[in-house]
Each structure stands twice: as structure tokens, then as C-alpha cells.
């Protein structure tokens, strides 16, 4: 067995052990009073957190039921559509289907683990906040780390297992054919991500908007007030959207970028003949694990210290460690090779990785600049609230549009730079570089909803003001890093889908040499480009309207409860939380279907009816307009949220100014947490579908244009 | 002299005579009381309309001063940068500069004429509304027709004059080189359009938003109330934005699409050797003139008849007549020819024209469906106001995104269809087909602000309720057709810029055969694509924020006047209208500079630094994302406007529901009248700059990538 294989297996096991250790650190914390004597507040703490956990699990189970139907159908489609006549010995349909199911199951399982620990971590963070901020911080951080390390560990282990099975069973089949079947793993992960992101995004925002519109706006009660019937659904939503959704999204990015790199790499003789070098993309993720583990030892917040500083420090430390470690990994495992007539050295590949790694950091930083109220842009938006909600919306949208400039320029530099260094392989490596610190990235992402939930639980359980202040501090830092995380997610999605797109074109040319260049001015390519550019918009329209519809149902239910349940407003009546959880769940599952079908069917139908060139145009169009729209949506939403917080921090809650800010915040909710992030999945999933079904398109595609 | 030349000159003179006749019909209407005895209301009528006319002219003059500086600089740039070493006898810089100045002057002059007649027509429409709706309708229609026929007459005459001068002076120079110099005419027209659209758009919305925020929202006085200091500026704005801006925009489309068709056509031997066939693109516009003139005889509204029906009927009648006439024109003047190895028959060309013509109509119709409150989409948005301003915004944005699907599909069909029929020449012809009914289109577009102004003047002069009812009826119909007109403008901009783009690529390949294919996956092309896709967003951000900033100045001034002028609210004090006109003027002129520079410099710098392939990617990216963003912005804005009107029509003015709708309307103002339409110019202007400077890019381009 090659050294690389042993290292990869060892590292993934290390990652799983790390996750297990963090799990035990979290779950062993006892919730309740000292000496087992619970105060009434402790009782509340337990019942509320149990309700959140129950709601979250109930949603997840129902969501997975829908997903499993989809997976079953898709497996059949894959099995029957994929049959490579050039490799009669190798049943590509079967092996792609196996990889697909593996990817889907691992993604689901990661989501499950993440949610489970998050819904245990939230209450324990609140519990620890009774003592000190430094303890509470560490509980939230550790809960996030379970997700971070668990997910990447399983992803790497799954990939290497499939790699060994495929190459072991069919040593005679060309590597790039095997790697294409392996791409089914990415497809599986991304399919789950589609539903997790879209369904989760609709769930969380329907609950949030519904809770706010009646609770805050109509009844004038604070956020997370236990009298609000939608408050449990709102807290469940944070987990569903930001943990399961974000986890599946980044799992997809990691799996897909790896598959793209493997497919492109396998077309180079020097790599396909050298397992260590071929597995380089997996080694990036594998060596990211110890680098991130080392980083976690620096995750300490002293009393009065900056939580935000610690979290951002985590990103910087892991980035620097990975950059250093990967230098040695590259020189040790990479070999010089040739792709499309271009000579590429190991150092070229290393520079691509570093380019991706640092451009991700800069995208995150610029995202923070545009969405934190420490800087001018958000303050301008807050200032625009002086002339009402309309100017707030206008300024916020303009801010979002404007905020796309620097990330786009950074992506262009990364794309041009890495492909000049190492062709299309370079882009895949840059994508992997950007998410090589994924374990820390996910830890921080999951930290956010855990501490947000902790605050909600503390409020609902009526814990003391000191506790609530501590959870507020933790939560505020989480909001900032959430914006950074979104920037990362979009940037890596852009590079990943470009890498997949490149792999798709590379493979289709290998299958059918008559495909040749994809000429931009070819009417089918340009038509595809224009059609593709429209897709992110219609996809956003679907998801935004879904949130609107679901929120309306929620508003009516909450209004109904306030009207019909006696003593609810006075705190003597008990709200029916379950009914609200149920509304969000049902709406999310119902509304995720149409956008899901749009994403899956568009590439399949366009490729089948109009051929590979039109499909290539469509992918490119969706990618470029999707990236800009995703960045704008996420940043407009983040800016409105923080403009409102800025106004609140100035003690202007309840003024007309604040009311105008709340309108912006509510509009921003589906922007930043539903439609924006879901575009990541749109562009990646369409690209990987094209890659997985490339055989089918080459053989049967272009029905109407042949 | 060829038959085609004689016909073109004759038709353009016919067009100018038609404009003159309509002018005299309008100006001979006497304003004031019967027998020259003016009531106090008549006096008011005169002073108010004089103030609007004065404000409009003042703005136009100051705008033209800025534009003339730009034109002077650009002329120098053109003169020195363009020097084709392959044609030493022909000074391309000089002739392009001549064409450029001609285009700019004609565009300015058209805008001037249109504004002049509109500011005379508005008060006369109000005057005629004292008698009957059918008379008032005809006055507004005739005022619009002056713009419609005057503009296309001058455009065609200018084009043919330059054509004759160029080909007459240099019979030995290849036709496609001469046609490229002629493209300067399109650049001149479009440069003026840039400032007219952006400046006009900022002017009108700063005034509108400012007037509404204080007048309607804070003071609770109706629109166009004479006590509102911003009301004159608001009425001036309608003319500035919708007449001068729209006119320059469509003038640009017509001139540019013609230039693109001439450049591409001139590369075919069969066309460059046959002046009648070469001039076919100009013949389309020329024969559109009598077709549109014939149509105007059907423009009658009976008492109680449908104004909207008559206006839409005009579009249909002219479309059918043009389709019929062009069949004979095509068979008489077109010849079979070959472009890029493809055999093209006259009927192929005719089908392209018809495809453009009818897809324009369908885009207009679908635009109406999404923006009129007679249909479901707008009613859903109105319904969303029940849960507040935030859901109104969410639904309106989703509506805009969704409304792009059908227009994009129609454009894709037109692009793929026409280029399958006649290559890139076909796309240019389809673009010309779409605006072949431009005289009627512009008439209807200009009709809108004239009747809107008539209503405003009637309100301010406190004319009777019956008069005001009649002008309201005229205005309502104008709102619907304005949406249709915007659909047309975007559709034709998309096709025009694609045609220009194709001409740019065709010409650059002729100059430098090493350019070859523009491979989509080439990193420079893809980098350009992503960068280009971002441009419409940043451009929108600029213009939206400009409106916001200018509106804020306006709000403060109006608030100040209400506070400091004694008796203003009671109607005894006199507002300082001039100050508000001045604020809008200054803001518009100041704020149009940065977006203007963005549009001009982006293609020049990208082409110079990164070469033709990167520039091609950028143009394609801006085109595809720009089209979708422009359609979305225009339709979201239109839908919010009409959702508010729907709620008002239901008698719910002043309710919370209505307040939520007003927020949407205010957000929509810069969307639909500033940033949306300005994107048309963005995509066309960048494409024509690339075409005009193709010599420079071939010779000196790609400084950093060579």
C-alpha cells in the first residue's frame, strides 16, 4: 500500500477520533443546578432545549425521508443512463451509483451528527455561561468542532475507500474513467446539500420572519420571548439552516473539488501512473486535518478578551499552518507532469493551492468589511434608515451589488493565475486550497448557531442578565464570522464548479474528439450562456417566494394563537410550539421540490436536447451570474441585519429609524440565508451532474441539434 | 444614384415632414380661456407649464454642456488611437471622429426636439382635456409622434449622408473598413444616451422620491400638490428621464444595430459589391417610416373607448404592416450571399427580421403580464403588503427575477434561430426587426410622460375633476405601455449588443487571423466573462446609490421649505420650486460621471491590457447578466408601482397596507427608471466601443498578456 494511502486513512481516523473527543467533552457537561438540584429555571432550560432538539430531529428525519426517495430515483437514473461503450468491462453506471449513494449517506450522516451535537451543545453553552465566558465559548467551539472534524474525516475516508475499491477491482481500466465514476460521490454529497440548503433555508427563514413579524413588530415583545409560539421553530431553524445546510454545502465543495482534480489529474500520464501524486488532491484535505487540530489549541478566550478576535485568529492560524505543511507535502508527493501539452512542476501546483487559500481569506475579509457595522458601508445603510424603509432597501441592495467587485476580482485573479500555472488542474487545486482549512471553517460556522441558540435558550429560560450578556457576546462574534464563512462558501463554490466544468469539458473531449473548442460566439453556446445566466435569478425567485409563502402561514398561525389562547400575552397561557415547528417543516419540505427539480433537470434536459456545447454555455452563464448574485444577496442581507443591530446598539430600539431597519433585516433574511447560499449548490450541482452524465451526453446528447 | 439611396433619402424626409406636421398640430392649440379671457386657473396653467418647460430646458442645456466636453475628449481619443496601418490612404481616426460627432449631435438634437414638444404638449393636453378625452389623447399622441418620427428621420438621414460621403470619397477602400468608421455614428448616439439615461434617470427619481417621501408620506398631501416644493422638479423629471433618455436609448439601438449589420454585411462580397443589398439594414428603418405613418391614422379614442387598447393596437398594426412591407422590400433589394462559408438567401434574412419583430412584441406582452395589476403576479405582490413592507419587497424582487424567464427564452430562440438562418448578420437583422416600428414605439413612449405631466399640471392648476379624470385615464394607459416599451428597449439592446459583439469579433479576425476561436474555457476569456457579469451589478449600485443620495438632498430641502416658509402648508406661502429643480439638476450631472467612466473605461482598459479575447469574454458576461438584471429591475419596479395603484384603486389609500405598498413603489423608482434602463446603454456602449476601437486592440491590445 502506498504511503499516501496510509497517511490519508490515518488522518481521516485522526479526524474522527478528534470529533469523538470533542463530543465527549461536550456531552459530559451536566445541565441543571449544582448537586442535581434544579431551580425552576434549570427545569425550563431542560424542557426548552429538549423541544429544540426534538423539533430539529423531527425535521431532519422527515427531510431525509424525502431525500431518500430522491436518492433512490437518481440511483436508478444513474444506473441506466451511464454505460460507456468504450469500456465494456467496467460497469460505469453501477460504480457511479455506488459512489453516489456513499456520498449521499455520508453527507446525511454528517448532517445528523452535526445537528445532534449542536442541539446538545446549545443548552450546555448556556449552562457554561452561568460560570464564565471562556468556558461557554469553549463549549460552543467544541460543539462546532465535532461537525468540522467529523465531516471532513468521513469525507476523506469515504473517498479513499471508494478509490481503493475502484482501482483495486479494475486495475486495467483507465484511471480517468474510474475517477469519473468516483465523481458520483460528489454528486451524492451535493444532492443532499441541495435539499439541506434549500429546505433548511426555507425552514429557518419562514420561522424567523414569521416570529419577528408578529412578535417583534405587532406585539412588541423581544426576540426569543417564550410567549412567542414561533420561537422554538426559530431556534430549530438556526440549526437546520446553518448547521445541516452549511455542512452539506461544504461537504459537497470538498468532495466535488477533489473529484474534479482527480478526473483532470487522471488524464495526465505522469499522475495516473503514480498513486501518490494522483491522490495529491485527497492529501490536501488529509493534511488539513492535523493543521486544523493544532489550530484548535489556540482557541481560548480570556475573561474580557475578544471572541471575534479568537475566531478570526483561528482562520489565520490554520491558513498559515496549512500553507507551510503543504509545501512539504507537495515536494514530497507531487511529480512533474504534462496536461494538454503544458509542463507543470510540483511548485506550480503548490502556488495554485496557496492562491486559493489566501484568496479565500481575502474574500472573507472583504465580506466582513461590507457586512460588519464597524465599517462605513453598513453605517451608511443604517444612516439611510433616517429617510425610511425604502432608502434603507435601496442602499442595502446597492451595497450588496457593490460588494461583489473585490471578490470577483480575486476570483478572476485566482482563475487566471492558477490556470496559467497548471491549467484546469490548477483551478481544481485552488478550489481545494480555499477549503483546505475546512475543519476550522466548519467549526466556526457551526459555533454561530450554537451560541445563537444558547442565547435564545437563556432568554426563554429566564436565566440571569449576566448569563444573557455572555451569550450575547458569543452570538455577536458568531454573526461576523458567519459572514466570513458565507464568503468562503461562495468563493469555493465558484472555483469548484469551474473545476467541475473543466473536468466535464476535458472528459467530453476525450470521449468525442469532434467536440473541439467551445466557441463563445457559437449560437448554441451563447444561447446557453444567456439561458444559464437567468437560472440563478429564477432559482432565487423560487426560494424567496417560498420563504414569503411559508412565513405568511407562520404569521397567521402565530396571530391565531395570540388571539385564541387565553393569557398567552400575559405569560399565563402556554403557546403551541409544535404547531409552528410543524408549519415550518411542512413548508420547507414542500417548497424545496420545485427549485430542486430546476437544478437537476436543467443540465440533464439541455445536455440531452441541445448537446454538450449548449450545456457548456449554460454552466458558464449560471456560474458567472450566480456568483455575483450570491455574493450580493448574502452581503445585502448581512448588512441589513447589522445595520439594525447598529441602530439597536445606539439605544434607538422602537423608533421609526429602528422600524425602517427591521424592514431591511426581514427582507435580508431570505436573501442571506436562503436564496444566496442556495446558489452555491445550484452552480456546483449543475456542473457535477454534467460531469457525471458526460457519457450520456456524448452518446445521446444534442437530440434537437444533431 | 442607386434606387435604395433615393428611397432612403425620400423616406427620411417624409419622416421629418411628418414630424413637422405633428408639431404644427400641437403648437397651434391655444392655451387659456375661450376668447383669450383667462380664468385664474388658466393663468396657473400657463405659469406652471412654463416653469416645467424652463426647468427641463435648463437641465438639458447644462447636461449638453457636460456631454459636449465628453464628446470633445472622446473625439481626440478616437482621432489619435485609430489608425489602420493596412489602409494608409484612409484616415480611419478622422472619419470615425466625424461619424461620432454626427451621431452625438443628432442624438442631442433629437432629445432637444422631443423635450421641447413634450413640454408644449403637456399643457395643451391638459387644455384639450377640458373638452374631451379623444381630443386630449390625440394631442398627447401627436406630441409623442414628433419625437418618434423626428428621431428616426434624422437617424436615417444622418446614416445615409455619412455612407455617401465615405463611399464617395474612398471608392477604393474596402467597404467593411468604411463601415467600421461609420460605426462611430452609433458610438456618438450611444454616448449621448449614456448620459441622457443615467443623468435623466437620476434626475427624475431624485425628484420623485424626494417629493413623495416628504409630500405623500410625511405631510400627507397628494401627488402633484402645488404646495410641494419638489413637484415641478418631479414633472420636469418625467420629461428628462422618459423622453430625452428613452429617445437617446432607442436612437442608439437603431444606429448601432444598423452599423453592426453594415459592418458584418460588408464582409460578404455579394453585399459589398451591391449597394442596394448592402444598404438593406438602412432600408428596414426607412420603410418602417411609412408603415408607422399609416398606423397613426388608426390612433383614435372614442369617448368611453379604451386608451390602452388603442395604444397597444398601434403596436400590433405597425408590426403587421412592417412584416408585410418588408417581404417585398427583401425580395426586391436583398441578394443571396455568403458569410463565413454559409449560403444565405434573401428569405433567410427576411425570417430573421420577422423573428426579431415578433419576439419584441411577445417580450412586450409578457412584460405587461408581470407589471399590470390586471394579472395575478402584481396582485400577489399587492397581497403581500398585508404582512408589511418587507414581504412586499421580497415578493416584488422575486417577481422581477421570475419575469426574466420568458424574455430570456424568447431572446435565446431569436439568437439561435436567426444565426442558424443567417449567421451573425441574422442577429443584427433581428435586432433591427425588433425596432423597425421604432417611430410608433417612441411615439407611445413619449405619450406617457406627456399625459403624466398633463395630469400633474391639471392638478396643480386646480382644473375641474372631470379634466383630471380624463388626464388620469390617459396617464393610466401610459403606465402600461411604458412597461411594454421598457421590454422592447431591453430586448433590442440585447440583440443590438450581441450584433455589435459579433461585428467586433468578425472585424478583429479579419485584422488578425491569429485570433481564431474565442474558447470559453480559455482562462482569459472565462476571467473576462466573470468580470463582465459583475459590471451590470456595480453599475446598478452606482446609479441606485446616486438616486438615494440625491433624494436625500431633496428631502432635506423640501423639509426645510416646509419648516421655514410661512403658510406653505396652508397654501398661502409660495414654495421655491427653482431650488428643487436646481438640486436635481446638480445631482444628476454630478452623479452621472462615475458610472459613465465605468462604462467607457472598462472595455478600453480590458482590451488594451488583456487583449481581445478577455474583452470578448467581458462583453459576453456583461451582456448575459445585464439582460437578466435589467429585465428584473424594470419589472420589479413596475410591479411595485402598479401594486400600489391597485391598492389605491381599492380605496385603501392611507391604510397600513397602502404604506407598505408605498415603500415598494419608492424602492422600485430607481430600479425601473434609473438602474434598469441604464443597463441597456451599458451593454450596447461597451460593445460599440469595442467595435470602434478594434484596430487599436488588434495593434496595441493585450499589453500584459502578450
Q: For B14-23, write each residue's pLDDT tens digit.
A: 999 999 999 9
Any B CB within 8 A of A355 CB: no
**Cβ within 8 Å of residue A392, ≥6 positions away:** A381, A384, A385, A640, A643, A660, A661, A663, A664
The reply to whether residue B533 touches residue A498, judged by beta carbons under 8 angstroms, is no
Q: How confident is the model at residue B42 (pLDDT cuts 50, 70, 90)?
A: confident
Question: Does the structure show a pLDDT above 80 at A445?
Answer: yes
Q: How confident is the model at residue B84 (pLDDT cuts 50, 70, 90)?
A: low
Taken in order A272, A273, A277, A283, is the CA torsion positive or negative?
A: positive
Residues B64, B67, B69, B70, Cα dihedral to 10°: -170
The reply to whether residue A537 touches residue B617, judged by beta carbons under 8 angstroms, is no
Higher pLDDT among residues B688 and B241, named by residue: B688
The reply to whether residue A627 touches residue B420, judged by beta carbons under 8 angstroms, is no
Highest-confidence range of A610-624, B259-273, B508-522, by mean pLDDT?
A: A610-624
The reply to whether residue A520 touches residue B616, judged by beta carbons under 8 angstroms, is yes
Give the pLDDT mean for B573-594: 88
Q: How confident is the model at residue B320 (pLDDT cuts 50, 70, 90)?
A: very high
Q: Report A:651-690 residues touching B (Cβ under 8 A).
A: 662-664, 666-667, 670
| Neighboring chain B residues of A548 at a CB cutoff of 8 Å | 384, 391, 394-395, 398
Nearest CA in chain A to B675: A398
Strand pairing report for B337-339 and A337-339: unpaired
Instruction: List the one residue out of B603, B503, B616, B607 whose CA is nearest residue B179.
Output: B503
The reply to whether residue B526 touches residue A388, judged by beta carbons under 8 angstroms, is no
Please report, rounded to a whole number, the percentage of residues in chain B having pLDDT higher than 90: 56
Question: Does the structure show a pLDDT above 70 at A467?
Answer: yes
Residues B627, B633, B639, B641, Cα dihedral to 10°: -140
**Is A573 exposed, middle or buried, given 0-12, 13-18 or 19+ CB atoms closer than 10 A?**
middle
Give the pLDDT mean for A662-673: 91
| Neighboring chain A residues of B551 at a CB cutoff of 8 Å | 387, 391
Average predicted confidence (pLDDT) for chain A: 91
Question: Does the structure show a pLDDT above 70 at B38?
Answer: yes
Q: How confident is the model at residue B633 (pLDDT cuts 50, 70, 90)?
A: very high
Instruction: State the pLDDT at residue B338.
Output: 92
| Neighboring chain A residues of B398 at a CB cutoff of 8 Å | 540-542, 544-545, 548
Contact indicator for A478, A246 with CB cutoff of 8 Å: no
Higher pLDDT among residues B571 and B272, named by residue: B272
Q: Among B541, B625, B627, whose Cβ lies nearest the Cβ of A398?
A: B541
Q: Among A408, A616, A663, whose Cβ lies nearest the Cβ of B520?
A: A616
Rounded Cα distance between A111 and A193, Å, is 10
B537 Cα to chain A: minimum distance (Å) = 5
Give the pLDDT mean for A40-67: 88
Q: In the A/B pair of chains, how many CB contacts fall below 8 A? A: 231
Question: Which residue of B420, B526, B643 is the best one to mutate when testing the A interface, meaning the one whose CB has the most A CBs within 10 A?
Answer: B526
Question: Does the structure show a pLDDT above 90 at B37?
Answer: no
Instruction: State the pLDDT at residue A450.
Output: 93
User: Chain centroid to CA A642: how far?
Assistant: 21
Give the pLDDT mean for A488-504: 91
Any A CB within 8 A of B282 CB: no
Rounded Cα distance between A55 and A59, Å, is 6
Any B CB within 8 A of A621 CB: yes
**Cβ within 8 Å of residue A64, ≥6 positions away:** A108, A112
Highest-confidence range of A302-311, A527-536, B666-675, by mean pLDDT?
A: A527-536
Any B CB within 8 A of A248 CB: no
Instruction: State the pLDDT at residue A85.
Output: 67
Residues B485, B291, B115, B635, Cα dihedral to 10°: 0
B106-110, B176-180, B181-185, B350-354: least confidently modelled range: B176-180
Q: Among A393, A424, A530, whose Cβ lies nearest the Cβ of B667?
A: A393
Question: Does the structure show a pLDDT above 70 at A271?
Answer: yes
Longest distance between any two alpha carbons in chain A, whole Å: 78
A83-92, A380-389, B553-562: least confidently modelled range: A83-92
Question: Does the structure show a pLDDT above 90 at A121?
Answer: yes
Please report, rounded to a whole number, the percentage of residues in chain B having pLDDT higher than 70: 99
A68 Cα to chain B: minimum distance (Å) = 29
Instruction: State the pLDDT at residue B235.
Output: 86
Q: How confident is the model at residue B96 (pLDDT cuts 50, 70, 90)?
A: very high
ipTM for the complex? Answer: 0.94
Q: Among B420, B551, B624, whose Cβ lies nearest the Cβ of A391?
A: B551
Range list of β-strands (E), A448-537: none
Give the pLDDT mean for A395-410: 96
Instruction: State the pLDDT at residue B47.
Output: 87
Instruction: List the one residue out of A46, A221, A398, A439 whose CA is nearest residue B540.
Output: A398
| Neighboring chain B residues of A412 at a CB cutoff of 8 Å | 527, 530-531
The reply to whether residue B523 touches residue A627, judged by beta carbons under 8 angstroms, is no
Average predicted confidence (pLDDT) for chain B: 91
A376 Cα to chain B: minimum distance (Å) = 14
B237-241, B253-257, B388-392: least confidently modelled range: B237-241
Instruction: State the pLDDT at residue B478.
Output: 83
A214-223, A439-448, B153-162, B566-575: least confidently modelled range: A214-223
Any A CB within 8 A of B517 CB: yes
Q: How confident is the model at residue A431 (pLDDT cuts 50, 70, 90)?
A: very high
Instruction: List the one residue out of A628, A622, A641 whose CA is nearest residue A676.
Output: A628
Give the pLDDT mean for A268-288: 93
Give the pLDDT mean for A555-568: 89
B420 Cα to chain A: minimum distance (Å) = 8
Estimate the crossing angle of helix B656-670 against helix B389-403, to 10 degrees.
40
Any B CB within 8 A of A594 CB: no
Higher pLDDT among residues B200 and B304, named by residue: B200
Q: Among B384, B412, B533, whose Cβ lies nearest the Cβ of A625?
A: B533
| Neighboring chain B residues of A409 at a CB cutoff of 8 Å | 531
Give the pLDDT mean for A411-432: 94
Question: Does the structure show a pLDDT above 70 at B85?
Answer: no
pLDDT digits (tens, 9 = 90+) for B272-313: 889 999 999 999 999 999 999 999 999 888 887 888 889 999
| Neighboring chain B residues of A617 at a CB cutoff of 8 Å | 520
Rounded Cα distance between B42 and A217, Å, is 49
A83-92, A404-413, B148-157, B687-696: least confidently modelled range: A83-92
pLDDT digits (tens, 9 = 90+) for B255-268: 999 999 999 999 88
A201 Cα to chain B: minimum distance (Å) = 15
Give the pLDDT mean for A219-225: 82
The CA distances from residue B603 to A621, A697, B607, B616, in Å, are 20, 36, 6, 9
**Cβ within 8 Å of residue B341, ≥6 positions away:** none
Give the pLDDT mean for B45-64: 89
Nearest CA in chain B to A418: B523
Q: How confident is the model at residue A215 (pLDDT cuts 50, 70, 90)?
A: confident
Query: What's the pTM?
Result: 0.94
Amino acid at each position: 500500500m502506498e504511503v499516501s494511502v496510509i497517511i490519508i486513512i490515518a488522518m481521516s481516523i485522526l479526524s474522527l477520533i478528534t470529533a469523538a473527543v470533542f463530543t465527549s467533552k461536550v456531552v459530559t457537561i451536566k445541565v441543571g443546578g449544582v448537586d442535581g438540584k434544579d431551580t425552576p429555571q434549570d427545569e425550563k432550560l431542560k424542557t426548552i432545549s429538549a423541544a429544540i432538539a426534538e423539533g430539529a430531529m423531527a425535521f431532519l428525519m422527515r427531510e431525509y425521508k424525502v431525500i431518500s426517495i430522491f436518492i433512490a430515483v437518481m440511483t436508478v437514473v444513474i444506473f441506466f443512463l451511464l454505460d460507456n461503450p468504450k469500456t465494456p468491462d467496467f460497469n460505469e453506471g453501477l460504480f457511479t451509483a455506488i459512489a453516489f449513494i456513499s456520498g449521499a449517506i455520508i453527507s446525511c450522516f454528517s448532517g445528523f451528527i452535526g445537528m445532534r451535537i449542536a442541539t446538545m451543545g446549545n443548552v450546555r453553552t448556556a449552562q457554561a455561561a452561568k460560570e464564565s465566558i471562556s468556558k461557554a465559548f469553549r463549549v460552543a467551539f467544541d460543539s462546532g468542532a465535532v461537525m468540522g472534524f467529523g465531516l471532513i474525516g468521513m469525507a476523506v475516508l469515504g473517498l479513499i475507500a471508494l478509490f481503493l475499491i475502484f482501482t483495486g477491482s479494475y486495475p486495467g481500466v483507465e484511471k480517468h474513467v474510474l475517477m469519473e465514476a468516483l465523481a458520483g460521490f460528489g454528486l451524492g454529497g451535493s444532492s443532499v446539500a441541495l435539499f439541506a440548503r434549500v429546505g433548511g433555508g426555507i425552514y429557518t427563514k419562514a420561522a424567523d420572519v414569521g416570529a419577528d413579524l408578529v412578535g417583534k413588530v405587532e406585539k412588541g415583545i423581544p426576540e426569543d420571548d417564550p410567549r412567542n409560539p414561533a420561537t422554538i421553530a426559530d431556534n430549530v431553524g438556526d440549526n437546520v439552516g446553518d448547521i445541516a445546510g452549511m455542512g452539506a454545502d461544504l461537504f459537497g465543495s470538498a468532495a466535488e473539488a477533489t473529484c474534479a482534480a482527480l478526473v483532470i489529474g487522471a488524464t495526465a500520464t505522469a499522475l495516473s501512473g503514480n498513486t501518490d501524486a494522483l491522490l495529491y488532491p485527497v492529501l490536501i484535505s488529509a493534511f488539513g486535518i492535523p493543521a486544523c487540530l493544532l489550530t484548535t489549541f489556540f482557541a481560548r478566550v480570556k475573561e474580557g478578551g475578544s471572541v471575534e478576535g479568537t475566531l478570526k485568529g483561528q482562520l489565520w492560524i490554520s491558513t498559515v499552518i496549512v500553507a507551510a505543511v503543504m509545501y512539504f507535502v507537495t515536494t514530497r508527493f507531487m511529480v512533474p507532469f504534462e496536461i494538454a501539452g503544458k509542463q507543470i512542476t510540483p511548485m506550480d501546483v503548490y502556488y495554485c493551492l496557496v492562491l486559493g487559500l489566501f484568496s479565500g481569506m481575502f474574500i472573507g475579509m472583504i465580506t466582513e468589511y461590507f457586512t460588519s457595522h464597524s465599517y462605513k458601508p453598513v453605517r451608511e445603510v443604517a444612516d439611510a434608515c433616517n429617510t425610511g424603509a425604502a432608502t434603507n432597501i435601496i442602499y442595502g441592495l446597492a451595497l450588496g451589488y457593490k460588494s461583489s467587485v473585490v471578490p470577483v476580482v480575486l476570483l478572476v485573479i485566482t482563475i487566471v493565475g492558477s490556470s496559467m500555472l497548471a491549467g484546469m488542474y490548477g483551478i481544481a487545486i485552488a478550489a481545494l486550497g480555499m477549503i483546505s482549512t475546512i475543519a476550522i471553517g466548519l467549526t466556526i460556522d457551526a459555533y454561530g448557531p450554537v451560541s445563537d441558540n444558547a442565547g435564545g435558550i437563556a432568554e426563554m429560560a429566564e436565566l440571569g442578565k449576566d448569563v444573557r450578556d455572555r451569550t450575547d457576546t458569543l452570538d455577536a462574534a458568531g454573526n461576523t464570522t458567519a459572514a466570513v464563512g458565507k464568503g468562503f462558501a461562495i468563493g469555493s463554490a465558484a472555483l469548484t464548479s469551474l473545476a467541475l466544468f473543466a473536468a466535464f469539458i476535458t472528459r467530453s473531449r476525450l470521449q468525442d474528439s469532434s467536440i473541439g473548442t467551445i466557441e463563445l460566439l457559437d449560437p448554441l453556446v451563447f444561447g446557453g450562456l444567456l439561458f444559464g445566466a437567468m437560472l440563478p435569478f429564477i432559482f432565487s425567485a423560487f426560494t424567496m417566494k417560498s420563504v414569503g409563502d411559508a412565513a405568511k402561514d407562520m404569521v397567521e398561525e402565530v396571530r391565531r394563537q395570540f388571539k385564541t389562547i387565553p393569557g398567552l400575552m400575559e405569560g399565563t397561557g402556554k403557546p403551541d410550539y409544535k404547531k409552528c415547528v410543524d408549519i415550518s417543516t411542512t413548508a420547507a419540505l414542500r417548497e424545496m421540490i420545485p427549485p430542486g427539480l430546476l437544478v437537476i433537470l436543467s443540465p440533464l434536459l439541455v445536455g440531452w436536447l441541445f448537446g454538450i456545447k449548449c450545456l457548456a454555455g449554460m454552466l458558464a452563464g449560471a456560474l458567472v451570474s450566480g456568483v455575483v448574485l450570491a455574493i450580493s444577496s448574502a452581503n445585502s442581507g448581512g448588512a441589513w441585519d447589522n445595520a439594525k443591530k447598529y441602530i439597536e446598539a445606539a439605544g434607538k430600539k422602537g423608533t421609526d429609524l429602528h422600524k425602517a431597519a427591521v424592514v431591511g433585516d426581514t427582507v435580508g433574511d431570505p436573501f442571506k440565508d436562503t436564496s444566496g447560499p442556495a446558489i452555491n449548490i445550484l452552480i456546483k450541482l449543475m456542473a457535477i451532474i454534467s460531469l457525471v452524465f458526460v457519457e450520456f451526453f456524448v452518446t445521446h446528447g444534442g437530440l434537437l441539434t444533431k
